[in-house]
A and B are shown apart, each in its own frame.
Chain A
Amino acid sequence: MTSTTPDRIPDGHGQRTARVADLFGEHGAADVEFVPFVVAGSGPVAVSDYHPLPFRALVEAWRYRKVGWTVFRSVLWAKLTQARLGPTWIVIQSFASMVGFAFIFGGAIFSVRTPGGMPYILYSMVGMMGWQLFQQTMYMSMRGFRAVKVVQDLPLPLLWVPIVGSAAGLVRSLVGMMFYVGFVLYFWITGGTLYLQLSPRLLGISAAGLGLCLMAAWGVGMWLAPLYAWAIDTRYVLRLAMPFWMFVTPVLYPLDQLGPHMRILVQLNPLTAPIEMIKVGLLGTGSVHPLALVVSLTLLTTIFFSGIWFITRYGYRLAALRKGVDSDDDQDDGMML
């Protein structure tokens, strides 16, 4: 039988410890049942909330990785099966958002010139790939405390809440990437031009850009998830801010079409460098200015680690305020905003 006898226990004053073997005898100390050793009158019991520092929180989240993966699959399954048409909606939404923007900016209303005369739909899809990964993952992360209800019952590190909550957003982005591959193949077969860089180095730059978009999404999501659980106003503010943020990010237009002053302003946007990295890697167009890269890396790292600090420090308290509120209301319809 496995004994739970500790090696050392406090001596009753909470300052020093004594060996259990010294108290109960050397031989057989591990086999005797541990007798509760409660010392009365040693002052009140102090129960304090545990707030690990960001690095410690990451280590603990890693320890719970299998649980995180289980909850991730559970959240994803719940999202995929909540509508009658099931995962079909993910495909429709991804296609509509990507093609819709290409239609509007590629000729229907605006005519954005693309570098090298490539089809605008491909150009916009690459930009949208990074933007949607950021936007959809962030929105879903923000709703983490509503989606990951199990956190009320289990001590899942709060760091996991926005990550596993974003499961459907990640899948939607993945579907968008598959559409892009489909369109690349279509233009290759019909026009004979392959609008895709196959160099591992360039594909690596694209992957790094996508990684930074994901880091931004989870970093912002770690700030927003507790705030959204506390106040739905967070969503309304975001609804106002996101279109503006999208249009100051070179998602649908090339950066060099902006004037010099506007270009500097856009390069201070932390998402400019990641989006440009994706374009450089996949299409061979665009440019990553060192200023934009430094600003992006500095801000995104700060947002990510401060987000870990915020959610571990205030997440439980802010989310607990809404405990007992039925989250299956009309405010949480699974749509982006």
Chain B
Amino acid sequence: MKRQRTDENDDLGLPWHKLADGLPHRLKRSRDFPDTDQKAVRKAATRAANKMQKVVRVVPDKMARNRDDFLWVQFADYEINLGDPCRCGGRQILRFHEYFGRCVACNAQLILVSPDAVESEAEDMYEWDGNKYGW
């Protein structure tokens, strides 16, 4: 089936502000987002995150039989490399997941990036990165 092409600045009509509550949200193709490429959703989420001065993590749903149809989206306040301080200068990070932590000083939710993954991110920022995103 031919999928819709999306505009470069298209937000895909998703309520990004509602989704940016710090909790993960599962999005389904044709119900929550248009029948388009997952990359377009990821780009739209990244643009929305930039507008809100946040960061976002978008991963396909491993549990779904058709991984192409489901996405998990989770916004956070900042993204930092493991070992770096928080943007507020806080040097104590509570890690509650391999890719998520919280700054003790400012309580910001952080996406933690392994330094090894940063180099590969530059090579292809819109391809799924196994080192960074865990598969």
Contact = CB atoms under 8 A, between A and B. Distances in A.
Q: Do A and B bind each other?
A: yes
Interface of A: 1-4, 6, 8-10, 12, 14, 17, 33-34, 36-39, 42-50, 63-64, 66-67, 70-71, 74-75, 78, 81, 147-150, 152-156, 316, 320
Contacts, number: 126
B24 interface: yes
B92 A4 contact: no
Nearest to B82: A47
Contacts of B89: 9-10, 12, 14, 37-39, 42
Contacts of B87: 34, 36-38
B88 A47 contact: no
B62 A150 contact: yes
B63 A149 contact: yes
A50 B98 CA distance: 11
B42 to A, nearest CB: 14
Interface residues on B, range: 35 or more
Contact of A10 (B62, B90, B97): B90
30 contacts: A2-B52, A8-B106, A10-B88, A14-B89, A14-B90, A14-B92, A36-B87, A37-B89, A38-B87, A42-B91, A45-B93, A46-B91, A47-B82, A47-B101, A48-B95, A50-B95, A67-B26, A70-B26, A74-B61, A78-B63, A147-B63, A150-B62, A153-B59, A153-B133, A153-B134, A154-B24, A154-B74, A155-B24, A155-B96, A316-B98
A50 B96 contact: yes
B63 A150 contact: yes
Most chain-B CB neighbours within 10 Å: which of A17, A49, A81, A154? A154
A12 B52 CA distance: 26
A63 B94 CA distance: 18
Contacts of B61: 74, 150
B63 A47 contact: no
B99 to A, nearest CB: 7
Most chain-B CB neighbours within 10 Å: which of A2, A3, A44, A63? A2
Most chain-A CB neighbours within 10 Å: which of B17, B63, B93, B98? B63
Contacts of A38: 85, 87, 89
A45 B135 contact: no
Contact of A152 (B26, B98, B112): B98
B62 A50 contact: no
Contacts of A63: 23
A147 B63 CA distance: 8
B26 A47 contact: no
B99 A153 contact: yes
Contacts of A45: 83-85, 91-93
A156 B51 CA distance: 26
Interface string B37-69: 000000000000001111000010111110000
A298 B133 CA distance: 43
B19 interface: no
A44 B82 CA distance: 12
A320 B98 contact: yes
B85 to A, nearest CB: 5
The 3 closest A-B CB pairs, nearest first, are A155-B97, A50-B96, A50-B94
B14 interface: no
Given A4-B77, A45-B84, A154-B97, A14 B91 contact: yes
Contacts of B82: 47
A33 to B, nearest CB: 7
Nearest to A35: B87
A150 B93 CA distance: 23
A64 to B, nearest CB: 7
A49 B54 contact: no
A121 B81 CA distance: 62
A74 B26 contact: yes
A17 B105 contact: yes
A1 B72 contact: no
Contact of A9 (B23, B74, B88): B88
A155 B100 contact: yes
Contacts of B24: 67, 154-156
B110 to A, nearest CB: 10
Contacts of B101: 47, 50
